[in-house]
Chain A
Amino acid sequence: NAGVTQTPKFRVLKTGQSMTLLCAQDMNHEYMYWYRQDPGMGLRLIHYSVGEGTTAKGEVPDGYNVSRLKKQNFLLGLESAAPSQTSVYFCASSYGPSGYEQYFGPGTRLTVT
């Protein structure tokens, strides 16, 4: 049981390049989330999904797209990376909404130059 895994762990991009971050969970959770963590700002929700085939915007969705084609996977895409997207990205999943805890992946450190 691996829990929540994220690929890759580190990445450096040039401005304008694109990439996809992969999140996978093996706990059969319905809900999945993408956050970014910036110094002094805690975690901010980018997008989330309440089930396979569904996605919704969080607090800071601009510049990102997501897809949830399979229940166990949640992809975060950057179509044209900008230096402001330099951050640590965390994926999380939970069984359900009310009161259920979120399980976090180890994070992806992205640097955009």
Chain B
Amino acid sequence: GDSVTQMEGPVTLSEEAFLTINCTYTATGYPSLFWYVQYPGEGLQLLLKATKADDKGSNKGFEATYRKETTSFHLEKGSVQVSDSAVYFCALREGYNFNKFYFGSGTKLNVKP
């Protein structure tokens, strides 16, 4: 079945450092890919998405490119801030059953001033 694998955390960075959180997926068909962010005590919020190969999703300085050839959707940000500290989830929506979402295990990011 479909699945998502993302790098384990926690990831600890200093403010203004470059961020990469790796995400790879296994899927049949043509899934849509998402990054969600969860701040402490809150539900998940959509950060960005890409619905087809080579699409780049971007929001709040974060970017991720849907790479079908490497089955990857890595999250990047050029300069992180303390306020980016949160848990980040990579997710996949099946291409043939739009109701099925699969989430990665989450990566906790700690940004120090």
Contact = CB atoms under 8 A, between A and B. Distances in A.
Interface of A: 4, 31, 33, 35, 40-45, 48, 50, 56, 58-59, 90, 92, 97-99, 101-102, 104-107
A33 B101 contact: yes
B103 A43 contact: yes
Nearest to B43: A104
Interface of B: 4, 32, 34, 36, 41-46, 49, 51, 89, 91, 98-106
A102 B46 contact: yes
Contacts of B45: 104
B99 A42 contact: no
Given A98-B32, A99-B51, A106-B41, A45 B101 contact: yes
A42 B105 contact: yes
A7 to B, nearest CB: 14
A42 B49 contact: no
B26 to A, nearest CB: 14
Given A4-B43, A35-B103, A42-B104, 19 more contacts: A31-B99, A33-B99, A33-B101, A41-B105, A42-B105, A43-B44, A45-B101, A45-B102, A90-B44, A92-B44, A97-B98, A98-B32, A98-B98, A102-B101, A104-B43, A104-B45, A106-B41, A106-B43, A107-B43
A101 B46 CA distance: 7
Contacts of A50: 99
A59 B10 CA distance: 27
